[in-house]
Every structure is written in C-alpha cells, then in structure tokens.
Amino acid sequence: MATSFHGVGAAVAALSSSPSNSFDSKKLLCSPRRSFPVRKGASFVVARSDGSVNFDLNPKARRAQQLIVNAVATKSDSSPASSSSKPGHELLLFEALREGLEEEMDRDPRVCVMGEDVGHYGGSYKVTRGLAEKFGDLRVLDTPIAENSFTGMGIGAAMTGLRPVVEGMNMGFLLLAFNQISNNCGMLHYTSGGQFTIPIVIRGPGGVGRQLGAEHSQRLESYFQSIPGIQMVACSTPYNAKGLMKAAIRSENPVILFEHVLLYNLKERIPDEDYICNLEEAEMVRPGEHVTILTYSRMRYHVMQAAKTLVNKGYDPEVIDIRSLKPFDLHTIGNSVKKTHRVLIVEECMRTGGIGASLTAAVTENFHDYLDAPIMCLSSQDVPTPYAGTLEEWTVVQPAQIVTAVEQLCK
C-alpha cells in the first residue's frame, strides 16, 4: 500500500525565500529579490519504496493541502515584475540533481562521474540517466564494486586536475570508502601543505527509507562529521538539490552531498536560469516567533507537517533547514535563536553522536545566553533500523512527537 508522503506539498511550497537581512545578499549568486509565487494546489506525489510514483491523496493529506496556504507563511510576494520573467520548469528532485550535474558537465569538461551503475544503467535512482550516452563511458564511469578504491581513484583524479563526482549507490556503502574519505579526501590538502586540492563531490542517497532494512537505512553524516577538511551538505528540495549540486561541483573543497532515498520524487518548479545555492548557508523555510526548529533533509517535511498542526494550535514555529551539516550556518541559526529563545532540533541521525548532538553543542556554546529553555533534540532511536514497518516508524521522529516537543518547549 502506498504510504502518502506527509506534507510534501506543503513543504515544497515553502521555498527558500529571498534572503533576509541576516546575511549579505551579495553572497548569493542569484538575484536577491527573487521570490516564488505561492503554490496553489501544490503537486503531491507519492513515492513508493519500489520507486513507482502515483498521486494518491488520503483524507489526511487532502486536508493538509487545504491548510497549505495558511500554515506556511511565505514571504510576501514581491510584485511579479521583480520575479524572473521566465516561467521556470517543473521537475522531480532526482531530475534536478541530474540537471545540475549535466549543466556542470557541459560547462567544464573536467567534471566527470564515477560510481556503480551510473553509466549504462543511468544510476540506481536515475540521477545520471542519459549522461553516459551524452558524455561517453569514460566521463560517466561505471565502476566495479570497490567503493574504497574507486573513491580513492576519484581523489587521485581530483588531485591531478579532474573534478569527479563520486556516487555511492547508497550512502551506507561509503562506509567501505571511509579510509579514503577520511585520510585522503579530508586530510590530503593539509598534509600536502596545500599543494594538492581535492575538488571532489561525493554524493548519494541515505537515510531511512521504506523498510529497506538496517544496512540500507544509515545516516552517514554522523560518521563523517568529524573528518576535518570536508564540507557536508544535505539537499531537501529540487531547488536546493540542483543548487547545492552545482555549488559542490564548483567548490575547490571536497564536498559530501547527502540526498535522501524518499525525497527523489519531490516535484517543484525551479528557475530556468543558472543558479547555485551557497554551500555554507542555511535555508529559512518558515519564519516564526515562538520556537526555532532546526532540521534537514527528510525531517524537514515531518517538521512542516507538524508545523501545520502547531499553527492550528496557535504556535508560530520558525523552521530552518540547516542544509549545511558541516559547517553550521551559525548566523542564520543564531539570529533565529536570538529571536525565539527556544530551540528544537529534529534530525534523522541516531541520538548518539549525530548532527543534532553537534548542533546542540554549537548552539549552546555560542548562544547560551539567548536561550530560555534547554535545547531539545529529537533524533532517531539508537537502534538498527528494523525491517517491520511499524517498528521502523517508531525509530524515526514523527510529526506528533515534534508537536509534543514544541508544546513542551513553549510551556
């Protein structure tokens, strides 16, 4: 039975608003005044775990849709004249990733792709579909099943002038590449005294899917976060997926781009013109006054689903998609904390040693004086993700828990 995707429509509607005063808008490469029209009848897709897609709406979702316009406070629309004159185009998140990748490969012949089944098969999540036909088998390289070695090969290629994008078919497989990612990807620029740069992008889907079992449901961001010398970003919408992909490829630093298995079929309208998303910045999803909710990747949608309920109960949560998992955007986060004085972190990592744990520490360290309550962090249970659907549901944070947490925080 297809499970509906909670609050996809709502979340997709809450696009990255034009930059607030919180940071220098010149840092964005796209027009700072751009905003997006409120989406009426936001598209709503159901992604099955077997990859098929249909458009079921269960009653709960239909109600959710009606709430979309009210629940999600979008930035007031600037006049149409200030938005892009082109209409934009609609696509799914995996297509956005592909578009970003293809554009960068067109732009720079040194950009190449390596991974298992990225070429002829088109990628197990179809992110690289059609690229091998267009760019050839060497530029979109089907590797044997040897993660440590082909990641190392990507690093060697990056050192000698190429700009590889290495795909882990599932992020969990990159555990096999930990040696290369930690020692070479992260540290080699430093140990070589700055002589060699590693402009590599390592990307792939991770996170808890639909009953994929423990080993396919891992959150590698918590393991990689200590590695010095790398940046980690997590995409959550087609817009930021394409933007982050392009920014990661253009960056001289090694970047790990975390995608989520369940988000590949999100649909959104994105601009036609070239744009990138800043790798180090967080995204304001929903401005608010009462509580700051920090989240990323799939949990963003659980948070937005909870936000609808919270709004109905009279709360005004501020939702920030941190996007940059390493380093944290302490400016956006800090400004929010200074405004709301309460922080809830909602993440999919395990309780122990996850991104939430680091974020809690960072917020406490930097903004302790501004907090009216201890930081709450909702994480997945420290449990190998079970196969059974009911058990799996209880390992990750659900919207109801988020609502309860906010109520508790705001007492």
The torsion angles phi and psi of 138, rounded to 5 degrees, stand at -85, -30
Rounded distance between C-alpha atoms, residue 332 and residue 336, angstroms: 6
DSSP 3-state of 312:
helix
User: 221 catalytic, yes or no?
Assistant: no
Q: Which stretch binds other proteins (CB under 8 A): 59-67, 93-101, 176-184, 308-316?
A: 176-184
Least distance to other proteins, CB of residue 398, Å: 31
CA 96-108-26 angle, to 5 degrees, is 70
From 152, 243, 356, 399, residue interacting with other proteins (rule: CB under 8 A): 152
Element (H, E) at 116: none
Question: CA geometry: angle at 84 spanning 80 and 88, to 5°?
Answer: 110
Structural contact between residues 223 and 178, judged by C-beta atoms closer than 8 angstroms: yes
Residue 394 in the binding site for other proteins (CB under 8 A): no
Q: To the nearest whole angstrom, how small is the minimum distance from the Cβ of residue 376 to other proteins?
A: 21
* Of 111 and 344, CB closest to other proteins: 111
CB of 396 vs other proteins, minimal distance in Å: 27
C-beta closer to other proteins: residue 25 or 84 = 25
Residue 165, strand partner residues: 113, 201
Q: How far is the CB of 221 from other proteins (least distance, A)?
A: 15
Choose, by CB under 8 A, the member of 55, 121, 190, 387 that binds other proteins.
190
Single residue of 84, 124, 183, 211 touching other proteins by CB under 8 A: 183
Active-site choice (216, 260, 290, 302): 216
Using alpha carbons, select from 219, 315, 328 the residue that is nearest to residue 282: 328
Can you tell me the distance from the alpha carbon of 350 to that of 338, in angstroms, rounded to the nearest whole number?
Answer: 27
Give buried/exposed letters for 257-268 (b at 16+ CB in 10 A, else e): bbbbbbbbbbbb
Q: Which is nearer to other proteins, 109 or 130 (CB)?
A: 109
Strands in 201-206's sheet, in edge-to-edge order, are 140-142, 111-115, 163-167, 201-206, 255-260, 231-234, 324-326
Can you point out the beta strands (E) in 145-298? 163-167, 201-206, 231-234, 255-260, 267-270, 283-286, 291-295
Among 172, 206, 209, 334, binds other proteins (CB under 8 A): 334
Interaction of residue 131 with other proteins, rule CB under 8 A = no
Per-residue mark of binding to other proteins, 341-370 (x: CB under 8 A) = -------------------------xx---
Residue 338: both structure tokens together: 């200074």
Q: How far is the CB of 29 from other proteins (least distance, A)?
A: 13
- Toward other proteins, which CB reaches closer, 34 or 326? 326
Closer residue to other proteins (CB): 199 or 399: 199
Tell me if 256 contacts other proteins by CB under 8 A.
no
Binding span for other proteins by CB under 8 A among 95-103, 135-143, 353-361, 390-398: 135-143
268 binds other proteins (CB under 8 A): no
| Residue 25 in contact with other proteins, rule: CB under 8 A | no
| DSSP bridge pairs for 232 | 256, 326
Applying CB under 8 A, does 35 fall inside the site for other proteins? no
- In the Cβ-directed half-sphere of 406, how many Cα atoms lie within 13 Å? 29
- Binding to other proteins (CB under 8 A) within 312-331 occurs at 324, 326-331
By CB under 8 A, residue 168 contacts other proteins = no
Residue 242 and residue 99 in contact, taking contact as beta carbons nearer than 8 Å: yes
> Smallest distance from the beta carbon of 155 to other proteins, in angstroms?
6
Does 58 help bind other proteins (rule: CB under 8 A)? no
| Residue 307 engages other proteins in binding (rule: CB under 8 A) | no
Taking residue 147's Cβ as centre, other Cβ atoms within 10 Å add up to: 23
Alpha-carbon distance 408 to 411, whole Å? 5
Tell me the C-alpha distance between 113 and 135, whole Å: 10
Task: Give the nearer residue to other proteins in terms of CB position, either 24 or 372.
Answer: 24
216 tagged catalytic: yes
Catalytic residues: 147, 216
Residues in contact with other proteins by CB under 8 A are 22-24, 109-110, 112, 136, 138-139, 143-144, 146, 148-162, 179-180, 183-184, 188-199, 228-229, 231, 251-253, 279-281, 324, 326-332, 334, 366-367
